[in-house]
């Protein structure tokens, strides 16, 4: 061992990051949480294209990966607040730069794709 171990360590890290952040809605969710704590419904209203099911799933994964904190208020009607952990916050600069890049990229490429999948 040791001959070419360094190779995979390197690119593996970027893939490790992608596993955490590569879900279809993950970065979109984080992006909203950058602006502050959100309730479930707020997030869902802010991203109408995502179904509650998927929003839940992605939030739970983000929580399991330690990027998002979920706080349940035991009251009625139910209230749940999502916020970023320190780990989640640490992604802010990168996400923002990626966002910039995406913007710049689409300008250069002439807005190739649809912004949001249109529903029938």
Partner DNA sequence: CGGTATCCCCGGCGATACTG
Partner DNA sequence: CAGTATCGCCGGGGATACCG
Q: Is the dihedral of CA 99, 100, 106, 111 positive or negative?
A: positive
Q: Which does 107 bind (CB under 5 to 8 A by kind): a copy of itself, DNA, none?
A: none
Cα dihedral 82, 88, 93, 95 in deg (nearest 10):
-70
State phi, psi for 13 to the nearest 5 degrees: -70, -35
d(CA 20, CA 17): 5
CB nearer DNA, residue 51 or residue 90 = 51
| Options 8, 17, 51, 102; binder of DNA; rule CB under 7 A | 51
Please report whether residue 46 would count as binding a copy of itself according to CB under 8 A: yes
Binding mask 13-42 for DNA (x = CB under 7 A): ----------xxx-------------xxxx
Q: Provide the token pair at 20.
A: 């955490």
Binding residues for DNA (CB under 7 A) = 23-25, 39-42, 49-54, 56, 58-60, 70, 72, 77-80, 117, 119
């Amino acid at each position: 061992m040791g001959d070419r171990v360094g190779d995979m360590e390197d690119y593996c890290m970027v893939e490790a990051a992608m596993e955490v952040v590569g879900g279809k809605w993950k970065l979109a969710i984080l992006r909203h949480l950058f602006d502050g704590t959100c309730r479930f419904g707020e997030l869902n209203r802010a991203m109408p294209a995502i179904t509650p099911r998927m929003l839940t799933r992605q939030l739970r994964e983000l929580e399991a990966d330690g990027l998002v904190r979920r706080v349940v208020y035991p009251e009625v009607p139910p209230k749940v607040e999502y916020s970023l952990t320190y780990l989640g916050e640490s992604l802010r600069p990168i996400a923002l730069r990626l966002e910039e890049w995406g913007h710049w990229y689409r300008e250069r490429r002439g807005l190739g794709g649809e912004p949001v999948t249109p529903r029938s």
